[in-house]
Amino acid sequence: MYTGINLKLEEAQQGVFHLRKIDSMMKELISQEKYERLYTQKKELLMKSSEQTAQIILDLNEQISFSKNNLNEIKEAISAGREVVNCLDNALNSLDSAEGWGVWDMLGGGLISNIAKHSNIDDAKCEVERTQTLLRRFKTELSDKINDFISMA
């Protein structure tokens, strides 16, 4: 009986914790919405104040958009590069395992060690093939970035 009460108390405490977390997130969201609204109002007032100020704001907005686009492309290139590294790590792990099974096979491990060794070699081949595909994607992402930098110059 005592453990049941403790369990219900613990569940209630977790519920309160989650409600507080949701409340905090809602307040943050409302604050962010309020900030965006005030920022937009300020921008509109500045743009109405003079043509020169309006042009500066438009230029800055264009630069911000361009920078956000560049940041997204850089993130995509980094993500593609990480996938390549992970895939190569998987291939190396499979080859290391195959090496271990190969030693066991040479010491008389028999059919099971031979099958395990070849299974790991096959896994490594698959990872290498996948790596080649990912490298092409990585190269494309990098080419896009290089072309962007060349066009900026």
Task: Supply the pLDDT for residue 5.
Answer: 57
How does pLDDT run across 105-126, given as a tens digit for each residue?
788 878 888 888 889 889 989 9
Query: Is residue 2's pLDDT more than 70?
Result: no
Using CA atoms of 47, 50, 55, 60 in order, give the dihedral in degrees to the nearest 10: -50
How does pLDDT run across 37-63, given as a tens digit for each residue?
878 887 787 778 788 877 887 888 888
pTM of this structure: 0.56
150 band by pLDDT with thresholds 50, 70 and 90:
low
Long-range contacts of 84-87 (CB under 8 A, 24+ apart): 84/131, 84/134, 84/135, 84/138, 87/127, 87/130, 87/131, 87/134
Task: Supply the pLDDT for residue 47.
Answer: 74
Task: State how far the Cα of 135 lies from the Cα of 32, in Å rounded to an integer.
Answer: 39
